[in-house]
Structure 1
Amino acid sequence: MMNLISLLIFLLLPLAMLATVAAPADAVDPTPIPLWADGTVPGALGTRPEDTPSLTPYLPDVTATAPRPAMVICPGGGYGGLADHEGRDYALFLNQQGIACFVLKYRLGSAGYRHPVMLQDAARAVRLVRARAAAWNIDPKRVGIMGSSAGGHLASTLLTHFNAGKADDPDPVERQSSRPALGVLCYAVISMQSDLTHAGSRNNLLGDAPAQGLVDNLSSERQVTPQTPPCFIWHTGEDTAVNVGNSLMFASALQASKVPFDLHIYQKGGHGIGLSDKSPFTNVHPWANDLIYWLKAQGWM
Structure 2
Amino acid sequence: MNPIDRRTLIAGTVASAALAGPALGQTTMTGPFPLPAGFERFPIWPGQAPGGETVHVQEVETLRRPDSRPDDGVFAHVVTPTLTLLRPAKPNGAAILLIPGGGYSRVAIGHEGYNVARRFAAAGYVCFALLYRLPGDGWAAGPDAPLQDAQRALRLVRALGGRERFDANRVGVMGFSAGGHLAAWLTSRAPEESYRPVDSADREPINAAVAAYLYPVIQMEGPFVHQGSRAQLLGADPTVEQMRAYSLDQHVSADTPPVFLAHAIDDPAVPVENSLVMLAALRARKIPVECHLFEDGGHGFGLVAPPAAPAPWPELFLDFAKRHGL
* TM value normalised by structure 2: 0.76
Provide the rounded CA distance (Å) in 2 between the counterparts of 1:34 and 1:48: 16
Q: 1:170 to 1:267 in 2, by over 3 A?
A: closer
Q: Gaps (5+ residues) in structure 2?
A: 1-34, 60-77
Q: 1:144 aligned to 142, 155, 172, which one? A: 172
Distance 1:92 1:223, change over 3 A: same
The answer for unaligned runs of 5 or more in structure 1 is 1-25
Q: Deviation of residue 297 (structure 1)?
A: 1.3
CA deviations on 1:205-248 (whole Å, 9 max, x unpaired) are: 11112222221121111111221111000101111110100000
**Residue 30 of structure 1, CA deviation:** 2.2
Question: Deviation at 1:203?
Answer: 0.8
Matched, 1:155 2:200: no
**What is residue 3 of structure 1 aligned with on the other side?**
none
- Residues 1:41 and 2:49 are matched in the alignment: yes
Residue pairs, 1:97-112, within 5 angstroms:
97-109=123-135, 111-112=137-138
Output the amino acid matched with 2:88.
P
SS in 1 for 2:128: strand
2:48 is paired with a residue of what secondary structure?
coil
The higher radius of gyration belongs to: 1
For 2:97, the equivalent position in structure 1 comes to 72
Q: Which amino acid aligns with 1:240?
A: P
Q: Which amino acid aligns with 1:208?
A: A
Secondary structure of 2:302's aligned partner: coil
Secondary structure of 1:88's match?
A: helix
Which of 252, 272, 280 matches 1:252?
Answer: 280
Residue number in structure 2 paired with 1:85? 111
- Cα distance 1:96–1:251, how it changes in 2: closer, same or farther (>3 A)? same
Q: TM-score if structure 1 supplies the norm length?
A: 0.82
Query: Paired residue for 2:322, among 293, 296, 300?
Result: 296
Instruction: Give distance in 2, aligned partners of 1:251 and 1:284.
Output: 20
Root mean square deviation, CA, Å: 2.3
Alignment-mate amino acid for residue 86 of structure 2: Y
Aligned residues: 266
Q: Distance in 2 between matches of 1:179 and 1:222?
A: 20
What is the CA–CA distance in structure 1 between the aligned matches of 2:100 and 2:150, rounded to whole Å?
11
Instruction: Give runs of aligned pairs for residues 215-234 of structure 1, distance below 5 A.
Output: 215-234=243-262
Task: Summarize the alignment of residues 101-140 of structure 1 with structure 2, pairs less than 5 Å apart.
Answer: 101-109=127-135, 111-113=137-139, 114-140=142-168
